[in-house]
Structure 1
Amino acid sequence: MLTPLEILQKYWKHDAFRDLQEEIIASVLKGQDTFALLPTGGGKSITFQVPALIMDGICLVISPLVALMKDQVTNLQNLGIKAIALTGGIRQEEIIDLLDNCEFGNYKFLYLSPERLQNDWILERIKNLPINLIAIDEAHCVSQWGHDFRPSYLKISLLKNHFNKVPFLALTASATHRVKEDVIAQLKLDNPVVFTKSFARENLAYMVFTTEDKLHLMQQILTKNPQSSIIYVTNRKACTDISRHLESLGFSATYYHGGLSLKDKENHMNLWMNDKVQIMVATNAFGMGIDKPTVKTVIHLHIPPNLENYYQEAGRAGRNGEKAFAILLTNPSDIIHAESQFLSVLSDKAFLNLVFLKLCNYFQIAYGEGIDEKFSFNINHFCTKYSFSVLKVYNTLQFLDRQGIISLSQEFSEKITLQFIIPSKEVIRYMSLNEQDEEVILTILRTNPGVYESQTVINVTLIAKKSNTEEKKVLAILHKLHEKNIIELNAKNNDATLTFNEVREDDKTINRVSKYLEAQNKLKTEQLQAVLHYIKEEKKCKNKLLLSYFGETISTECGVCSFCISKNKTKTNFDLVSDKILGLLKIQDLNSRDIQKLSKHTKDDVIFVLQNLLENDAIVINSNNLYSIKNSLK
């Protein structure tokens, strides 16, 4: 029998385990229930894949991340290891065949989502398998205090009744002490061995900068650190806009978000992974399974919703052990709008009830019916029909999906994008000659002002409503414009697929899960407040603040975060800075960026002195938005 290290060397070509991996594997091989908290980049999958290959039988891996399951199955198959994933969209007949293969085909890994355990017949089939280990990935989902709680995870504990001698391994990359204790209780782990790797990253400098011009500061950071970088933003439009902005400045950049086709995702990923481009601009759809050791800088341009996400995304920097930077850029308006941005789109019980009712009516599902019915679903059309906020509905549907009431495929990519490729005067000329198309074109131009500069997402339902036209006519006009080389059109037929997993029971359905909604809303509010505290707290080490959130207490400051650097800086003589700025302004009016450049002082020092000079009426801001010295002082 091969040892764990020999298995690691044989299949993964590594000469040594990372911290705690070997200890976790040893615990599992002894047959002990185990809880492991390995922060991002800790190599969680190795801790169940290695012991599963040593023991006879098959390892059951439960995970909510379909993309990650597929990725791991593909990687195992490429290593010559037999693995299967029961993901969504597989017909019952095919599932039966796959489970037969697991039972009789000497397979080593069976991946499935927790929702699959809701099917009693699948659970019965799993009972007949020679299970040697049950690994629960993203185990924080078991806890209602975890940042992605799924009630279906609570079903996992039922497996204890049938596999009471099989070790359970619960894995997560981010969990507070409260979440850890809850996971152990909910999974009914038997006297588990607990492994917790410190969240500390000694080579990673956490920086928070408040600036009026985030794009300029971003440019300075990326110029100073020209190595591989990631920039996180909160929406798809920002992905393309920031990527194009960086390219206009001479950087090499690409982007990644959930709306890209699989082919585009792979192409953009490969460009960045192979260092063909320096910068990846991405939403949080980017990151699962990403392990590029040479990332020097991770910049967040927008405030993240919680510190769990922030830690994981920031932690993609510096995995090679060299000094790296996790930078969060904010401006005063970010903080002002953060609560409304995140909390205003949370669904309460009344809205949850309303959306579910309208959803059933939209698909004409009668009371007491609907189970296992599947529909093509266009969220823009649905929201326009009922005058709902798209983002609020999307969050509501995600909640219903996590509760197992519906299943929602993640295909909410932009259906249509277009760009006008002829001058505006030629468009006006076309409209004068084709009056029947004029109202639709004018509506597109009014609704999407950037449509001449770049490919722009078009909500056809909204355009039809505003122009008092049928959707099919709008589409016909768009295709005609494309054929005449007036626009460049990209149309994708990729509506989401929505499946009802239960019979329609209206209030009864929603009453059952509303308690979870209230708890999740409370949690999200607390998490956002923790992020804002991390940003606004200016008298503590950022590393200590982050570790404290995850339950770690350290006595020493990191010495490399934005707080520690500012504390250790030589005290500025503001009188000298003031004299220098006044001297420059006596020669000419300047903006703050030029003042910083010419005075050779830091941005923070310059802004501080400018504010003092303004308050003391020594300078003014003129009609050109330039700082100018008062006439009486010239």
Structure 2
Amino acid sequence: MHDIHQILKTYWGYEQFRPLQEDIVRSVLAGTDTLALLPTGGGKSICFQVPALALEGLCLVITPLIALMKDQVEQLNKRGVAAVAIYSGMNRREIDIALDNCVFGNTKFLYLSPERLLTELFQERVKRMKVSLLAVDEAHCISQWGYDFRPPYLQIADLRELLPGVPVIALTATATEQVKQDIQEKLLFKQQQVFQKSFARANLSYSCLYTEDKVGRMLEVLQRMPGQAIVYVRSRKQTVELAKYLQSKRIAAAAYHAGLKFEERSAAQSAWIQNKTRVIVATNAFGMGIDKPDVRLVVHLDLPESLEAYYQEAGRAGRDEKYAYATVLYGPNDVADLERKVTEAHPPLEFIRRVYQALANYYQMAVGSGAMSSFDFDLQDFAKNYKLKPLEVHHAIKRLEGEGYIQLNEAYFMPSRLMLIMDSIQLYEFQVIHPEHEALVRMILRLNGGEAFSNFVRVSERKLAQLVHLTEENVRKKLEYLHKLQVLVYEPQHDASQLLFTQSRQDAMNLPLDHAKLKRLRELALLKVREMGRYIETSDRCRTQLLLEYFGEISDKSCRICDYCLAQRKKERTLQEEEALRKKVLDLLQQKPYLPKELVQQFEAKHAEVVTTLLRELVDLGRIRYIESGKLEVN
């Protein structure tokens, strides 16, 4: 076993762990099943990556977030650690090679979504892998009492039976007491072992501002508070409209949502990360896996559906532990509107079955076929084809996802990639017979060497076109032709949402939807909306205390920086100031009588109004009185 401090320094450049990280790492290395609750930006990945590097063998990482998966694999590879990911959109050969590298190669981390766990392809290989650790990220997804329940997470218990003696580390940023218990039970923890950093963020000022002009108030807040900001809204259309509005007010802003092309999303995100754009206006998916510590402000123009979601999104501010703000702007009907939207998000069973049947028709899938098949999915095109409303379709798909039949992954970018499937001798003979393809094949070999024979490698059609003096379109056509001739496997880039059938296609009319469970989930979702409403509408409690209480952490210590605490401190200062002014009034009148006007002139102009009010109060209380001259004296 390698020294964990040396690993931390070698791969991350840190001299020491953050609070709790070392305790979690040592618990894992002792072979103990461990649940780690660390807030957003609290360094969860180090808690499983460091012990995995200290142990001999492979770490399996289960996560539902493809963007996060790809980001962490890229970061590990940059640090010289062999890591691969398996997700929808990859062809079977790519998956085959990735799994082989985990069995026979030096791969240290395998990231995959929970839907992959029970596939025959994975189950046969995992038995031959030397697995040292099982890491379950976003572990709240395993609990029906959480806010993002995913049935495939329940399959992790079956995986544990295939990997006896392998410890599990479960990680999440948010979990109530009930969810914490559920995670440990569902993951078959041998003993309870929970490490939880306080949900309190000492540097984050929470506030909830009531307004009937959200856009105007948002502008006020942005103008008053400098620094990088995220503005969260519910719809894609809003992101674009608000970004344009802010630009018209000379605030550098950009829109970000899953419907934009990869180049647009990437440009908006990069400009914001590099501080060239100050404000990013985004839907709630933005921010996952983005390590930007200097966000000073997060504004919610629409209410999140739960306090868990709010805590995660607000927590993207102030990761550098400097002062930051999280502000919710809410109007008179926001809670009622959110309740209505949540109710609409749970459509009737008949409609869910209708959408499932339409999906099967759309992809021409026969009953009993299609398990783990992945397709590009265009919601607008699908809805138009079947004369359905896009939003209603989206809700039905989410329910089918919750029942474990399909999985919809938002648009993510996969660059073009290829792999040579002829050996070097066959390839040489091919080039002799087909000299018109020789320049392109030689350039692929020159750029990638022998790696192209054993693994899929990324290719840029634009770069190849420049090097072999062809158009991009010609290069694509040639690669497609070489793919057809089985010289290579070519996967062009794509940037579309992916729909994955996690089970074989079933007869829609007899689709066994769990009516009782769907009803319970709707009631739970509505309960979470009401908790969100209670949080924003409570005006007589510390905001941090309210959040802590929701997550089962009771504290009588006020944060001193939320809107309530700041108002209380201002009130205290005002009372102290009033008491000092009252004392000075009485001291002056002890010396001699004054006309009210003369008395007010003894104070700074900014205190004139308060002193005038104090004089009335003191007269009413009988502490001072008027005499015949119209002057005041102590009674």
Counterpart of 1:135 in structure 2 is 135
3-state SS, counterpart of residue 40 of structure 1: coil
CA drift of 1:101 comes to 1.1
Q: 1:503 aligns with which of 482, 502, 505?
A: 505
- CA deviations 1:409-428 (Å, max 9, x no partner) are 42399xxxxxxxxxxxxxxx
Counterpart of 2:65 in structure 1 is 65
Contact 1:345/1:395 (<8 A) preserved: yes
- Give the distance between the partners of 1:114 and 1:204, measured in 2 at CA: 34
3-state SS, counterpart of residue 292 of structure 1: coil
Contact 2:2/2:55 (<8 A) preserved: no
Counterpart of 1:558 in structure 2 is 559
CA drift of 1:42 comes to 0.9
- CA deviations 1:188-219 (Å, max 9, x no partner) are 01103210111001111110000122222222
Instruction: Decide whether aligned partners of structure 1 residues 355 and 553 sit closer, same or farther in structure 2, where only a CA change above 3 A counts.
Output: same
Contact 1:349/1:517 (<8 A) preserved: no
Counterpart of 1:523 in structure 2 is 524
Instruction: Decide whether aligned partners of structure 1 residues 294 and 364 sit closer, same or farther in structure 2, where only a CA change above 3 A counts.
Output: closer
3-state SS, counterpart of residue 45 of structure 1: helix
1:32 equivalent to 2:32? Answer: yes
3-state SS, counterpart of residue 346 of structure 2: coil
What amino acid does structure 1 have at the position aligned with 2:547?
Answer: L
Counterpart of 1:359 in structure 2 is 359
- CA deviations 1:451-470 (Å, max 9, x no partner) are xxxxxxxxxxxxxxxxxxxx
1:334 equivalent to 2:334? Answer: yes
RMSD of aligned alpha carbons = 2.4
CA drift of 1:243 comes to 0.9
Counterpart of 2:226 in structure 1 is 226
- Give the distance between the partners of 1:169 and 1:495, measured in 2 at CA: 32
- Give the distance between the partners of 2:180 and 2:566, measured in 1 at CA: 34
- Give the distance between the partners of 1:12 and 1:373, measured in 2 at CA: 38
- Between 172-181 and 355-364, report the one with greater CA deviation: 355-364
CA drift of 1:35 comes to 0.8
- 5 Å-filtered alignment, 1:548-627, equals 548-570=549-571
CA drift of 1:496 comes to 4.4
Counterpart of 1:263 in structure 2 is 263
1:94 equivalent to 2:100? Answer: no
- 5 Å-filtered alignment, 1:19-58, equals 19-58=19-58
- CA deviations 1:435-457 (Å, max 9, x no partner) are xxxxxxxxxxxxxxxxxxxxxxx
Counterpart of 2:80 in structure 1 is 80
The TM-score normalised by the length of structure 2 is 0.74
Contact 2:370/2:504 (<8 A) preserved: yes
Select the structure of larger CA radius of gyration.
Answer: 2
What amino acid does structure 1 have at the position aligned with 2:512?
Answer: I
3-state SS, counterpart of residue 333 of structure 2: helix
- Between 323-332 and 344-353, report the one with greater CA deviation: 344-353
- Give the distance between the partners of 1:299 and 1:208, measured in 2 at CA: 10
- CA deviations 1:215-234 (Å, max 9, x no partner) are 22222221221111111111
3-state SS, counterpart of residue 251 of structure 1: coil
CA drift of 1:121 comes to 3.1
Instruction: Decide whether aligned partners of structure 1 residues 11 and 130 sit closer, same or farther in structure 2, where only a CA change above 3 A counts.
Output: same
- Give the distance between the partners of 1:368 and 1:99, measured in 2 at CA: 26
Counterpart of 2:594 in structure 1 is none
- Give the distance between the partners of 1:257 and 1:369, measured in 2 at CA: 33
What amino acid does structure 1 have at the position aligned with 2:110?
Answer: L
- Give the distance between the partners of 1:101 and 1:549, measured in 2 at CA: 44
Counterpart of 2:10 in structure 1 is 10
Contact 1:300/1:329 (<8 A) preserved: yes
Counterpart of 1:160 in structure 2 is 160
Instruction: Decide whether aligned partners of structure 1 residues 335 and 99 sit closer, same or farther in structure 2, where only a CA change above 3 A counts.
Output: closer
Counterpart of 1:322 in structure 2 is 322
Counterpart of 1:174 in structure 2 is 174
What amino acid does structure 1 have at the position aligned with 2:286?
Answer: F
3-state SS, counterpart of residue 246 of structure 1: helix
Q: State the aligned residue count.
A: 495
Instruction: Decide whether aligned partners of structure 1 residues 270 and 377 sit closer, same or farther in structure 2, where only a CA change above 3 A counts.
Output: closer
- Give the distance between the partners of 2:516 and 2:218, measured in 1 at CA: 42
3-state SS, counterpart of residue 165 of structure 2: coil
- CA deviations 1:480-514 (Å, max 9, x no partner) are xxxxxxxxxxxx99664544431322244333x44
Counterpart of 2:466 in structure 1 is none
Instruction: Decide whether aligned partners of structure 1 residues 129 and 364 sit closer, same or farther in structure 2, where only a CA change above 3 A counts.
Output: closer
- Between 216-225 and 495-504, report the one with greater CA deviation: 495-504
Contact 1:352/1:510 (<8 A) preserved: no
Counterpart of 1:305 in structure 2 is 305
3-state SS, counterpart of residue 73 of structure 1: helix
The TM-score normalised by the length of structure 1 is 0.74
Counterpart of 1:430 in structure 2 is none
Contact 1:142/1:151 (<8 A) preserved: yes
